[in-house]
A and B are shown apart, each in its own frame.
Chain A
Amino acid sequence: MAKITLSTDWLDVCSGCHMSLLDMDELLIEILEHVQLLSSPITDLKHPPESGVDVGILTGAVSNDHQEEVARRMRDRCGILISMGDCAVFGGICTMRNFFDTEEVLSYAYTETDSTAPEQEVPRSPEIAKLYPTVKSVRDIVKVDYHLPGCPPPAHVIAYVLTELVAGREPKLTEDLLTYD
């Protein structure tokens, strides 16, 4: 049986969801017998190949134009898109800033916290991604096939979803597999 191909990427995240992926421990080895990981933020290859992958996983919310680009690229290049973790599914903790004006948020983060150096200014380089006024979920930007909430989703739930997909079945998150926090 040919392996199914997988790419993952992260957007506005703490990276906890990818930690949870690694938390599958020895199950990871088993899954990798059926799955070929082609790119991820923690491997050398960061971007899904142009030729496409069977399954794409996105973690994190969409907070800026760069992240939107990453999300769209993943959608274009994958067959099945999984939005993984509360930030990707709902916007998550990142949406806390939705209650404030973007300039207020930037100036607080770069000039007002106790840990910012004096004279520090908000970086304005055109090369830096531009913050959107509000944080969005992945689903607000592109079509998502499966939602896998949790902050982070437990490793065994990620394993369940991948195992079902490998077996050609529809993963269904029943009450015992769902978690919102």
Chain B
Amino acid sequence: MPNVRVTINGVEAAVPANMTVLEAAQAAGIEIPTLCDHPAIEPIGACRICLVEIEKQRTLQPACTFPVFEGMVAHTHSEKAVEARRFILDLLFSERNHFCMFCQMSESCTLQDLAYEYELDHWKFHRPMPKFSVDASREYFVMDHNRCILCRRCIRICDELVGNGTLGLKNRGADSMVTADMDVPFGESSCISCGSCLQVCPTGALADRASAYMGATAEIDRIKTRCMACPVGCGTELIVRENRVIRVEGDWDAEPNHGLLCEIGRFVPLHEHRDRVREPMVRSNGEWNAVEMDEALAMVNEKLREAGDDVATIVSGFVTVEEGTLLAQSPGAKYLMHPIASEQSSATQADLDVADLFVVVNTDLTDDFQVAGMFIKRGVRQRGARLLLISDAAEGDAPEGDAADGMSEWAMRRLGTAEANEAVAIAGGAQMPVFVAGPEGAKLATELAGQVANAKALIFTPGGNSRGLYEAGFQQAFEGQDAAVYHVVAGEISRIAPELLEQLKQAGTVIVTTSYRQPWDEVADLILPMPTTFEKAGTTVNADGMVCEVVAGVETRAIPFNEMFNSLAALAQ
């Protein structure tokens, strides 16, 4: 891209010709306020707060959509521009109800920040104060239409990045309202509760139930870390106040998610109702009793000593590489709690944003690996890529529970596994087909991809750090193998296969190291505490083989895993 020379507020710069005035100003270190614009989504120039004065232009121009040109001279904070911004703020405030003193977002609201910055001490215009509804039908966050400035960030992110297309606008002019599907309550809509719209809303229109009133911008810290709930491995930002995580957001700078998260990564950890394990517990005569750590470790040591090599260590994907490396030194067999695909990926998740054909085999990406599902959905919606679903059910409507059920709305076609070969013919005509599957579909997906010249396969093994744990020595899936003593290292895993619990119920001695008591108290004889992902540091390896850093956001009373494990190892000597 050729450069053009521009002058902004007297600062000369050479910038690529395809930049907007806003981007050029930002590159020159000059800030222009924005409301409807967001770096992750396409600009639409709806709110006009970014108006700037550009010489030789008849009127003020919105910086977020206006392209730079050779010799452009712009003034971002001229008297005229500042006056226009005040006027726009006045109009925005006059439209609905912005009584900040009872708004959840006060001191965390971009609109309010701008009112302070532009020193608005009263409202100039008459306010009709129309009465809009509040939609509280969603579990995790509320929509108060009275605070909405119709910037459409929510609509655009749901469409452009999440690929869900749930949101739209109804009515016209001042009566416009954000609406879901064919105007149904949000809680009954196609919304998948990913919370991406919540994260980008610049006002209190979308407000998080868990963190509303819990801490304003100045009172919080942001800590970048990882979600360990699945192998997509999304980068997260923990919003922490007074050593408590009050909210989780997607990290805009992180691969592969770039700001997106799914319900499991964003909301589930903060709506956890299980009892936290803070100290070791022992079951005797059906009763659970807390015991001192020394005592508990002595008991564990005794059991392990008796069992010798007849021990099975079963780790969940919530175990970090470092924790796994320690555990790999213990005697006996090592198992992963999750099914393992024996096939290897030849694609990375980044390929999903360039592929023109997706073939998803026996996997429901609206349930597992959800953010990867969003990459596919947006490819279909935004780039015109095509999606083929292969599942056990034959062509026709996907029955509930079938792997193809969730994504069928985005699919051009559904094939039964018996007709899978047709996918090869279709993929042959594509530029860049990617076959995607979890363990159930991995074999077929790899086989099919092998028959198409330029095809790649993206294979997911469930469990956030399964790949890291595999490399650490956990190379077998647990499928009910016998052992005298089972040591389950669970972390905070909540999606647990019922068969696993059934098997452990029948087993001899079961020791579980876990952050939460349930459901392990049904099967364990002894429970040891374990920090959650929010509380520990380490590394994890995602489906792409990318090594990701897990950073502790809060301090915990729970003893660090390595300390506990080393004490146990010392006893064994």
Interfacial residues, chain A to chain B (CB-CB below 8 A)? 83, 86, 89-93, 95, 98-99, 134, 137, 139-140, 144, 147-149, 151, 172-175, 178, 180-181
**A181–B100 Cα gap in the complex (Å)?**
6
On chain A, the residues within 8 Å of B102 by CB distance are 93, 181
Whether A149 pairs with B122 at a CB distance below 8 angstroms is yes
Q: State the Cβ distance, B376 to closest chain A Cβ, in Å.
A: 44
User: Closest 6 A-B residue pairs measured CB to CB?
Assistant: A181-B101, A147-B122, A180-B100, A147-B121, A151-B101, A99-B131
Instruction: Assess the A178–B101 pair: CB atoms within 8 A.
Output: no
Q: Which secondary structure dominates where chain A touches chain B?
A: mixed
A143 to chain B, nearest CB (A): 12
A175 CA to B115 CA, complexed, in Å: 9
Question: What are 29 residue pairs bridging A and B, where the CB atoms are less than 8 Å apart in the complex?
Answer: A83-B122, A86-B101, A89-B121, A90-B122, A92-B99, A93-B101, A93-B102, A95-B99, A98-B129, A99-B129, A99-B131, A137-B122, A139-B122, A144-B122, A148-B121, A149-B121, A149-B122, A172-B119, A175-B116, A175-B119, A178-B119, A180-B101, A180-B106, A180-B112, A180-B115, A180-B116, A181-B103, A181-B106, A181-B107
B175 CB-CB contact with A under 8 Å? no
**Given A180-B100, A181-B106, CB of A89 within 8 Å of CB of B129:** no
Residues of B within 8 A of A173 (CB): 119, 121
Chain A residue, CB-CB nearest to B117: A175
**A148 CB contacts on chain B under 8 angstroms:** 121
Q: A157 vs B102: C-alpha distance in the bound complex, in angstroms?
A: 21
Distance between Cα atoms of A174 and B116 in the complex (Å) = 8
Please report the C-alpha to C-alpha distance between residue A137 and residue B121 in the assembled complex, in whole angstroms.
13
Assembled-state Cα–Cα distance A125/B327 (Å): 82
How many of chain B's residues have a CB under 8 angstroms from any CB in A?
A: 19
Q: Which parts of B172-202 form the interface with A (CB within 8 Å)?
A: none
Give bound CA distance, A147 to B116, whole Å: 14
Please tell me if the beta carbons of B106 and A178 are within 8 angstroms of each other in the complex: no
- B residues near A, CB below 8 A? 99-103, 106-107, 112, 115-117, 119-123, 126, 129, 131
Whole-angstrom distance between the alpha carbons of A181 and B102 in the complex? 8
B116 proximity list for chain A (CB < 8 A): 175, 178, 180
Pair A178/B121 contact, Cβ less than 8 Å: yes
Cβ–Cβ contact B99 & A86, under 8 A:
yes
- Cα A180 to Cα B126 in complex, Å, equals 18
Report the bound CA distance from A144 to B99 in whole Å: 20
Which residues of the partner chain A approach B131 to less than 8 Å between Cβ atoms? 99
In the complex, A52→B347 CA distance in Å? 82
Q: Which residues on the B side are within 8 Å of A90 (C-beta)?
A: 99, 122-123
> How far apart are B14's CB and chain A's nearest CB, in angstroms?
34
Interchain CA distance A134-B129 in the complex, whole Å: 10
Known interface pairs A173-B121, A178-B119; 5 further A-B residue pairs with C-beta atoms within 8 A, sorted by A's residue number: A91-B99, A134-B129, A137-B123, A151-B101, A178-B121
Q: Decide: B119 and A95 in contact? CB cutoff 8 A.
A: no
Please indicate the chain A residues that have their CB under 8 angstroms from the CB of B115 in the complex: 180
**How far apart are B292's CB and chain A's nearest CB, in angstroms?**
49
Contacts of B119 in A (CB 8 A): 172-175, 178
A86 to chain B, nearest CB (A): 6
**A180 cross-chain contacts in B, Cβ below 8 A:** 100-101, 106, 112, 115-116
Chain A min CB distance to B109 (Å): 10
Which chain B residue shows the least CB distance to A138? Answer: B122
Q: Which residues of chain B are within 8 angstroms of A92 by Cβ–Cβ distance?
A: 99, 101
Residues of A within 8 A of B107 (CB): 181
Assuming the contacts A180-B106, A181-B106, asked whether A89 and B99 have C-beta atoms less than 8 A apart, the reply is: no
| CA gap between A175 and B120 in the complex, in Å | 9
Separation of A94 and B522 alpha carbons in the complex (Å):
54
- Cβ of B103: which chain A residues have Cβ within 8 Å of it? 181
Complex CA distance for A99 and B99, rounded to whole angstroms: 13
Alpha-carbon gap, A70 to B50, bound state (A): 42
List B contacts of A174 (CB < 8 A): 119
Expressed in whole angstroms, the minimum distance between the Cβ of B91 and any Cβ of chain A is 16
In the bound complex, what is the Cα–Cα distance between A25 and B470 (angstroms)? 68
What are the residues of chain A within 8 A of B101 when measuring CB–CB?
86, 92-93, 151, 180-181
Q: Which residues of B contact A139 (CB under 8 A)?
A: 122
Q: Is the CB of A93 within 8 A of B99?
A: yes
Distance from B195 Cβ to chain A, minimum over Cβ atoms (Å): 26
Give Cα A180–Cα B117 distance, bound, in whole angstroms: 13
Nearest CB of chain B from residue A51's CB, rounded to whole Å: 29
A178, chain B: closest CB distance, angstroms: 6
